[in-house]
Structure formats: structure tokens, C-alpha cells
Structure 1
Amino acid sequence: MPDSNNNDVIEYRAFTLDDIPAAHALSMSVKWRHRAEDWRFAANIGTGFAAVDQSGALVGTALAFQFGSNAATLGMFIVSPEHQRQGIGRGLLDRLIAKLGSRTLLIHASNEGRPLCQQRGFTRIDTVHQHQGAAFQPPLVSLPPGERLRPIGARDTPRLAGLASRASGLDRAALLPELLAVASGIALDRDGELIGFALFRRFGDGHVIGPVIAPESPGQSRAKALISYWLALNAGMFVRVDTPLRYGLSSWLEGLGLPLVDTIEQMAQNGAPATDATLTQFALTSQAVW
């Protein structure tokens, strides 16, 4: 269905894999670090809408990522700088909301996008701190007795998906195999039982650590050990970690040489996911899929 905005007629249609080159160019225009490969990963696991102008040029994108039948995350929202403040972001968001129905919907909202999200019934549930950098010196972090880090094995996938689902409140059964196809992983083991993990993968012009999932511990030693493992292996490489404010890792990450570069609000519509109180997701997979 078309919208008319400042004499421009905007058409909304399904986002397809053929849109990836234009979407990548669009994300570069707003200084996102995403590669074309990052867009392809998102498009393969999500669905959404493209906004195009009268010439057929892509001017906006928005994708949704469904986790089971009850929840979805919204992300990859971009409107070209030349077409902002014309209602295109609202048109994209409204179409995703209509498509997804009564599910719990989760979104990361910038300062500019927060008023629209609030108008559509989203409420704040946390703030996420984005840390990134390349000059870091991680410390050696001790784990509780009986716990160790070990490589992730092929047989671990169902357990990893279960831990990720419990920690996030989202059904990660389909997402984890996709992530493991593009990421390396380290497992947290307690007396032979897998109790946490952290993944490390290419993203943009560097790498991202996430998700990081573990039981809470004094000083969050488990989460710190998982993150420090990847930092120690990749000294001098550009690394990003997105962590919810309430878990208290920001000052520690800054002390390692990963400065805080951005904050963004986590918001939910139709309630927040029910998470397992015995597990915590200390770092996001990404701001699109959480």
C-alpha cells in the first residue's frame, strides 16, 4: 500500500534477498558497520518490509525475527537521510506490528525512535550499553571451584539453545544452529554439565562477542571469564559487546579498553519475555535479534 509523503509516493513491499546490496548501501549512508554478509544473515532468519520511492529506489527497511509463536524482535530499521521525517519509519513499524499480531514485540529504540515506539504501546524494560574498541588487555578471571571453560562440541547445540531460550525468554531453537554456522563458541562447564557459553563472530569491520549466557556469580566472574577468553585470543582486533545496564559490566568493559560508544533503550509491547531467574544473558547476540 502506498503512502504519500511530501509529494513523494512511497511503496511498501516485502523485503527480499535481492534488496541486500541496496540495503547495505543504505546502512553505510547512516554509518552502520554492517557488511553485506550481515544483511544476508539477517534476511535469512527474518522477514520484513522495504520502502521504495517512485523510481523504485530503496529508501527504508525494517525486519522482524520470530521466536516461536509468542514473541518477535524488530530491527534493521533504516530510513535514508534524504527521506527522514516523512513518516516512513512509522509506516514500516506499523506494518510489522500489524503482521505480527498479539505477540510480545521487542525493539531497541534510539532517542529519535523512542517517541514513536511509545505511541505504539512499547514501554522501556532496560538500557543497553554498546562497548567497542581494539586496545584492550583482559585480566585472568578465576571461576568457582569445579568450573572450567572448554570448546563447544557438535553435541552441545540442543543444550546451548535451551540455555539461550531460558536466559532470553525467547525460543532460540532455530536461531542457535544459524549462529553456530557463522560463529566460534566457548562453553562454561561445571563438573561435566554445560551451564553457560559465549559466541564470537565477524560483524561489520570487526567482531562481536554475544550472546554471553551464564548463571550470575559474585562480581559476575562467570560472564567476565567468558568475555575475557575471547578478548585474550583476539588482542588488537576491533571487538564489540552490547550489555544490558542492569548487569553492571559497563565499568569493567571500559577498564579493559572497550569504551562506551552508544546507549539504546530496550522496549517491549504486549509484555516482556519470561526469563529463567537462574540464568542471565549478559551480552546480546545483536540489537536486532537480542
Structure 2
Amino acid sequence: MSALTSESRFIDSFETRIADIDSVDIDKLHALSMSVAWPHRREDWQFLRDFGQGIAAIDEIGRILGSAMWFPYGDRFATIGMVITSPRLQANGAGQWLMGHALDQVAGRNLGLNATRAARRLFVLIRAGRIEAFSLCRRFGRGHVIGPVVASNHADAIAVVHPHAVEHAGAFLRLDTREKGGTFAGFLSRCGLPIYDIVTTMSRGDPWLPVPGRRGMHEPKTYALVSHTLG
């Protein structure tokens, strides 16, 4: 095992170890995300732990200093998410140590990650007996998030998002998209959802997303993510 992924490391004067994220008190994980101003509730953490795997960095007095999770999609691909490092962890260069452990766990898989700069309801669009588009809206953070949204064109994506926007008008509503401009982004702005930040999608191994220009006219496209973590 390399020094990068050793089982423990001294940070300041405290020894810090790696633990399975399922063994960590969920209130401490919630406090960790709150410390970096992420909106995740305890319920959001539990949802992610139910569907993914992860690790946390814990010092010898029980403080959670960082986390990283991964979500396998079959044997060849996984998304990386919930990568949080406290200022103490970053200041001591230990964030790389934490990620080294996470990457060891998904070795051999192609990886995807979405990163920013710093009651469930489903709408399905059916045409001639075929599902052409769908969107999901669920409780998240300070209100609701719309995602995923999958459609083959802007018009269909707008059609399945519009009911959610109407239902939650005046309340906190979020949608994470890779669309930086165009008809869909314009529609979001008119709904009171202006661009706050831009999602940058990264891959390790085979490309996660189709090569630009190679998607067929009628092939589905993800207009909004489930979340940054799940893609």
C-alpha cells in the first residue's frame, strides 16, 4: 500500500483514520456537509448511503474531517460524489489521501464526476405509446430539486419540467443542468431559475458522455441530473 493510501495519517497533532461511511453517525456527516454550506439534509445523506458506498476521515477524538462516495453502475462504471474535505484536511494536504482511498475502491472502473465552481412526483411524456421524455421532482435541501430530466429535444424537456416549475412557484426549487444556453436554459430563466453555477462533467477512462456531435437526432439526452453525485 502506498503512502498516499495508508490507513492512517497525522493531521496537526491528531491521528486520522479511514472508516466505512456506513459506520459513521449520520448527524456527524450532516454537520460535515453543513460546514461547507452544502444543503443536504440527514435524509439526503441516508438516501445516498442506501444506494452507494463511501469512506470518511475521522480523527482520534471522533471528528469527521472528510468524506468521499462512489456509486457503481454495473462492473465497468461508477460516479464519484460527496467529496467533502474540511478546511483542516485541505490545509494539511490530506484531501488527496482521502481521494486515494476512494479511487482504490473503484480501481478498474471508468469514472464520472460532476463538480461546480465552489414528496416525489414523476411526469412522463408519451407519444404513440412510446415514452419520449420524463422528469422527477423530489424533496432536497432547502426545498425541491428537479432531476433527472431525460428527453430527446428541448421542447420535450420543457414540457416535462414546466408542471414542476408551476407547482413550486415561489418556493425553493433547484435544477442541475449542463445546458449553458439555448432554448432550455432560456425557459429555466423565465421560470425564475437563473444560472447560479455551471456543472462541469469529468471522466476518467472511457468518456462518460457522448462525444459532442455524435448523438443521434432522436437519442435521449440528460437535461437535468439526479444530483451532482449520481449524475
TM-score bucket of the superposed structures, by smaller chain? 0.7 to 0.9
8 Å contact kept, 1:200–1:209: yes
Deviation digits for residues 96-115 of structure 1 (CA, Å, limit 9, x no counterpart): 11111121111123447xxx
Structure 2 unmatched runs, 5+: 1-6
8 Å contact kept, 2:117–2:197: no
8 Å contact kept, 1:64–1:96: yes
Alignment correspondent of 1:48: 54
> Could you say if the C-alpha distance between residues 110 and 238 of structure 1 is closer, same or farther in structure 2, counting changes exceeding 3 Å?
closer
Alignment correspondent of 1:35: 41
Letter in 1 for 2:171: M
Alignment correspondent of 1:159: none
Alignment correspondent of 2:72: 66
Helix, strand or coil at the partner of 2:38: coil
Cα distance between partner residues in 2 of 1:232 and 1:186: 13
Cα distance between partner residues in 2 of 1:230 and 1:109: 25
Considering Cα pairs closer than 8 Å and 6+ residues apart, tell me whether 1 or 2 has the greater RCO. 1
Alignment correspondent of 1:190: 127
8 Å contact kept, 1:65–1:72: yes
Q: What is the aligned counterpart of 1:263 among 195, 198, 207?
A: 198
1:19 aligns with 2:25: yes
Structure 1 residue 65: Cα displacement: 0.5
Alignment correspondent of 1:245: 179
Structure 1 unmatched runs, 5+: 113-181
Cα distance between partner residues in 2 of 1:285 and 1:200: 9
Cα distance between partner residues in 2 of 1:198 and 1:73: 21
Alignment correspondent of 1:228: 162
Cα distance between partner residues in 2 of 1:88 and 1:23: 18
Helix, strand or coil at the partner of 1:23: helix
Helix, strand or coil at the partner of 1:201: strand
TM-score normalised by length of structure 1 = 0.70
Equivalenced residue count is 218
Which 4+ residue blocks in structure 1 deviate beyond 4 angstroms? none
Cα distance between partner residues in 2 of 1:110 and 1:212: 19
8 Å contact kept, 1:51–1:88: no
Helix, strand or coil at the partner of 2:97: helix
Helix, strand or coil at the partner of 1:75: strand
1:92 aligns with 2:29: no
Structure 1 residue 238: Cα displacement: 0.9
Cα distance between partner residues in 1 of 2:221 and 2:147: 12
Q: Relative to total residues, which structure has the larger helix share, 1 or 2?
A: 1
Cα distance between partner residues in 1 of 2:174 and 2:187: 14
TM-score normalised by length of structure 2 = 0.87
Letter in 2 for 1:252: F
Alignment correspondent of 1:287: 228
